[in-house]
Amino acid sequence: MLMLGLWVVLATPTAAQWLGEPVWNSVSGGGLAVSADYAKPDDSYGGGTAWGARLSVGLGTATFTIGAASWQGLTSIGGNVAIRLIGGTLLPIPSRGIRANLQVGAVQTEMANVVVSPSVTAVTAAVGIGARLPAPGFSVEPYVSPGIRYHSEVSTGGSSTEFGYAIGANVGFRSWGVHLAYDNEKIKGGGSAGVLGVGAQVTP
């Protein structure tokens, strides 16, 4: 089992940020949110399912997120910060509907119980562009978030920098909501890997 886990860490395309999940985004940001996530990577990624949890806290124009995800017996831990540029309140450029942010994050996945413990570090930098569509009793926020993803495999000294994007939507119902996203990333050597994710969040 240990050798299988080691092979998975080194061979996976490591699309997205938390292993096995999309690069989640909320272009409005702000407030306090606790999220639970479920994701289904495609065959090019490695299949299987991923589960995760995140905590987000908004301070002014910045939203800080920490979280963890589990996929194929591997655990990724990390976080990101998103800076709002357009839309919402307390923002440099006010807008009633259009939203935009910059998001930077880093996550590390490490295989425990191995003599030389391999780790994969994923760093993402993306811009998020979306719109907030209010409706009676709820709101919808579709978005697209293209960016650059860097992966460093510490044990092998290998690394790659690839283009990726996420397309998703956040739906809010007062103190709770749901979110979904499809993430696609180019794979070093050709092709791409995709992940479809859904989840729910509470905003106390």
Give DSSP secondary structure letters for 122-150.
Answer: EEEEEEEEEE-EEETTEEEEEEEEEEEEE
Average pLDDT across the chain, whole number: 83
User: Measured in whole angstroms, how far is the alpha carbon of residue 2 from the centre of its chain?
Assistant: 27
Dihedral sign for Cα atoms in the order 68, 113, 120, 166: negative
**Of 8-12, 165-169, 174-178, 193-197, where does mean pLDDT reach its minimum?**
8-12
Average pLDDT value for residue range 153-161: 70
Side-chain-side CA neighbours of 27 within 13 Å: the count stands at 29
Q: What is the mean pLDDT of the segment spanning 133-158?
A: 83
Helix (H, G, I), strand (E, B) or coil at 154: coil
Greatest mean pLDDT among 8-17, 23-32, 179-188: 179-188
Whether the predicted pLDDT of 113 surpasses 50: no
Report the phi/psi class of residue 43: left, alpha or beta, with left for phi > 0 and alpha for psi in -120 to 50: alpha
Mean pLDDT confidence for 65-70: 96
pLDDT band at 51 (very low <50, low <70, confident <90, very high): very high
Mean pLDDT of 78-91: 80
